[in-house]
Amino acid sequence: MTNRDNDQSDVPEAEDHNEVVFSETPLDQTHHKLEYTGTWNKIMALAMWNALWTILTLGIFRFWAKTRVRRYVWSHTRIDGDGLEYTGRGLELFLGFVIVALCAGPFIALFVYARMQVPVGNVGINFAIDLAIWIPLIFLMHIAMYRAQRYRLSRTSWRGIRGHLGGSSLKYAGNALVSLFFTGLTLGICKPYYDIELMKYERNHTMLGDAKMAFGGMFTPAFKKWLVIWFILLLTYLVTFGLFVALVKVLLPLAIVIGLVGAGFGAYQFARYQAWFFRYTTGETSLGNLAFSSELTPKKLFKIYAVLLISLVVLFALIVMIFSMVIGASIAASGNAGPNMPFVFAMTFLFLVLLGPVQQIVLLPMFVQPLIAAKVSSITMTGEIDRFTVQQVARSEPKTGEGLAEAFDLGGI
Amino acid sequence: MAESDDPMQGQARFFDGLSITSHHVAVTIADRHLIVELDDDRRRSYQIDNLVLCEKPTGMQPVRLRPHTDDGARIVIDKGPFTDTLIRQFPKLTVAEGSSKFRALLIGGISALVACIGLLVWFGVPITAELLSNVYPRDSEIRLGEIARDQIISAFALENEENDEEVVCVPNADAMRGLDQIMHQLIKSGDLDYTYEITVIRSDMANAIALPGGQIVLFSDLLQMATSPEGLAGVLAHEIGHTEMHHGLRKMFYGIGLGQLIWLFGGGLDAPIDLLFQHSYSRQMEHDADLYALDLLGKAKVTSHDLAALLEKMSRQRTRNGLQNTIPEFLSSHPDTDGRSALFKEARLTGKVDIPYADWLAIENICRF
């Protein structure tokens, strides 16, 4: 099932002493379902506390908030009965961020200075500056993503054995630039090239103790699948748009229904690809002698997206309703036709300050956790886990974490 | 191994941190230590104060412990009387960064950091902005002002796309002569660093803007609202004050620095907190420009009373439009108009701008013909 074509030339030599110990007897294939045991009420309570502290500390608590969420999610992800463990600390994330924030100053200044020197209407120079800024920026963002993953894995352990991500973040970012170029050039048709190439590099450099992960996913099957979906999506949106434009002035309700059905159908097709991609890439991944497979269905993904959309719409409507009621009450109390403007300003300000943290309170239990739960619980691990002995490997691991990713707002949970 | 009734003894799974192999072990609490009985009569003793919980125990999840200095060893104990005893007797047993001592340190640290950021916002960023604006090359500043002026013109042209009228009003010879005379009277009185260029834009907004490098933009409605050349001279003196004190550049550097600082430390916070600080900074600059204008008008022997009258007129118009006193001063980029008007009124400066009435009429009507 798995092609072990991984390039592990940069794995330190010392690690080769500790090969994974396999049983000499033929493997009795057993299946282990991965579990996710987190509950929505617990993570919502956690999200609420985090939001409160984040607001009170003007955002600085977010590093510790993220650590608490990770600790919760990791510990409820169970493999063979034992939860994963997140050993990272908020302080490490904070220090990583401070270092990057201090280094970012000169780059921002350079960017602003270059932008200020461009005369109005000079499209050519503007484009050149955009290119000169965006290419290194995309490169840096991928370095950040890889380094963040390296930090997360170094702080992830199972049964006391730490994870590790080798490889070079520069090579990863280089691969990303090339594959993004092809993706852009082909109007998104080559998107699987980007997805597969990056996943291949990352997974082939991932380890748990001395057990190496291997990924045998290929571009062609992913491309075939994506190509079909890409055309269905294109056709769906063209037809929907055409019908919508034709009907919008004649029969608005029908136009809206067609628009919604079209968008929903498109989203379902996208979920189909995503579910397939997850099943395919999981099936092509192995860790030592353990193989993985997934039964993730598009229906499950689509349901999660639909719940997210409905939650956000309800939340937004609720906020607007409360906001309108409060302003209405202010008008009624003052007896004037116009509202009390300082009060309205204060309310608007409060609304903007609270929007981000409130969104987090909804996103974590309604979207992030269900998505993780759906993915994790769809995975089956095949192999004799009792006869699979992984040894700890002493390595130097990053002391601080995710600063660059945090500066780009790429940290995830 | 048989379960013991002694709440100080229990069963656990032990991972030695070297491999994923699980060892079934007996554990005992003795003298603030957790004793792990391994096979072959070997035992490991952990001081409980040096252990941390891998995660907060929830529901029936087993309690997982590890040494504070992580060597990979894990003690996994199923929920039961033993874990209850352990948690009851050692309430300080928490997750990493979860102790009350750490929380106190964290709150103290974050408070100190917020105070430092506050100091940086109040003192560090303005001082840096001033230093940068003082060393910013003059040629670049002039070019920047020209670019900004062109951007404003483009923005107004876009807004007035449907009208056929030109956005920039070109003064006729009389108006040009009149503007030159007003500027000359002001410039000869002060020791000015810049060469000034005035651009008049067609707009129903009564305002004027000072851009870096000596560019002044006047909006046509202001010209029509000004009842005398002295009022206009007051406006120009105020804008000259902005330019001479590098307010445009300082505001720009301040805005960039403050925006980045708040964005970075606020984690991409969307709330316009920086606007509060920027407006306070801007109000101070407006006040400084008013003082500069008073000084310049005094030296040029031009009355400040007409500027006070113009400000009052603008204020009355805002009232008619239902905008007056709607924005609290702390959210406004300008100081309270009544206060500003009083400042110019109380100065009691006297004197006139020496231009023919025809020239003044031409200025007032720059955008009308």
CATH of residue B72: 2.30.29.30
- Count the domains in chain B: 2
Q: Which residue of B has its CA nearest to A100?
A: B264
- The residue among B52, B72, B89 that closes a domain is B89
A65: nearest Cα among A374, A406, A333: A406
Same domain, B84 and B130: no
Same domain, B195 and B72: no
- How far, in Å, CA of B212 to CA of A112, rounded? 16
Residue B32 lies in a domain: yes
Same domain, B192 and B269: yes
Chain B residues touching residue A162 (CB < 8 angstroms): 72
Q: Is B108 on the interface with A (CB under 8 A)?
A: no
Residue B326 lies in a domain: yes
Chain B residues touching residue A159 (CB < 8 angstroms): 15, 20, 22, 74
**Would you report the helix, strand and coil content of chain B in percent, each value rounded to 5?**
55, 15, 35
Q: Which residue of B has its CA nearest to A70?
A: B55
Predicted pLDDT of residue A13: 37
Q: Is B58 on the interface with A (CB under 8 A)?
A: yes
**Residue contact A162–B72, C-beta within 8 A:** yes
Q: Is B151 on the interface with A (CB under 8 A)?
A: yes
Residue B38 lies in a domain: yes
**Residue contact B264–A389, C-beta within 8 A:** no
**Residue contact B19–A112, C-beta within 8 A:** no
Predicted pLDDT of residue A335: 58
Predicted pLDDT of residue B274: 65
The tens digit of pLDDT for each residue in A273-325 reads 999 999 999 999 999 889 999 999 999 999 999 998 888 888 888 888 887 77
Predicted pLDDT of residue A21: 37
Same domain, B328 and B257: yes
pLDDT in tens, chain B (369 residues): 445 678 888 999 999 888 888 889 999 999 899 999 987 778 899 999 999 999 988 878 899 999 988 888 999 999 889 999 998 999 889 988 888 888 899 989 989 988 888 888 888 989 998 998 888 888 888 988 998 898 889 888 877 776 667 888 888 899 999 999 999 999 887 788 899 999 999 888 888 889 999 999 998 888 888 889 999 999 999 999 999 999 988 988 888 888 877 777 776 655 566 666 777 778 888 899 999 999 999 999 999 999 999 888 887 776 666 554 455 555 555 667 778 888 888 888 888 888 898 999 999 888 876
Cβ partners under 8 Å of residue B328, min gap 6: A341, A342, A345
Predicted pLDDT of residue A24: 37
Same domain, B150 and B217: yes
Chain B residues touching residue A19 (CB < 8 angstroms): none
Predicted pLDDT of residue A2: 40
Longest dimension (CA), chain B: 112
What single DSSP character describes residue A13?
G
Quickly list H helices, A335-413.
341-363, 369-377, 403-407
Is the confidence at residue A338, as pLDDT, over 70? Answer: no
- How far, in Å, CA of B133 to CA of B97, rounded? 44
Residue from the list A58, A162, A355 with its beta carbon closest to the beta carbon of B266: A58
At residue B45, what are phi and psi to the nearest 5 degrees?
Answer: -115, 125
Torsion angle of the four alpha carbons B353, B358, B359, B364, in this order, in degrees rounded to the nearest 10:
100
Same domain, B75 and B128: no
Predicted pLDDT of residue A249: 83
Same domain, B318 and B177: yes
Q: Give the position of tokens 């412990």.
A: B65
Is the confidence at residue A141, as pLDDT, over 60? Answer: yes
- How far, in Å, CA of B169 to CA of B150, rounded? 14
Q: How many CB pairs under 8 A join A and B?
A: 139
The tens digit of pLDDT for each residue in A13-67 reads 333 333 333 333 334 458 889 999 999 999 999 999 998 888 888 788 888 999 9
Q: Which residue of A has its CA nearest to B117?
A: A58
Task: Provide the residue range defining the domain that includes B45.
Answer: 9-89
B179: nearest Cα among B221, B149, B142, B216: B216
Q: Is B69 on the interface with A (CB under 8 A)?
A: no
> For testing the chain B interface, which of A120, A123, A349, A390 should be mutated: the one with the most B CBs within 10 Å?
A120
Same domain, B298 and B200: yes
- The residue among B89, B123, B140 that closes a domain is B89
**Residue contact A83–B64, C-beta within 8 A:** yes
Residue B207 lies in a domain: yes
At residue A194, what are phi and psi to the nearest 5 degrees?
Answer: -60, -50
Residue from the list A75, A109, A338 with its beta carbon closest to the beta carbon of B55: A75
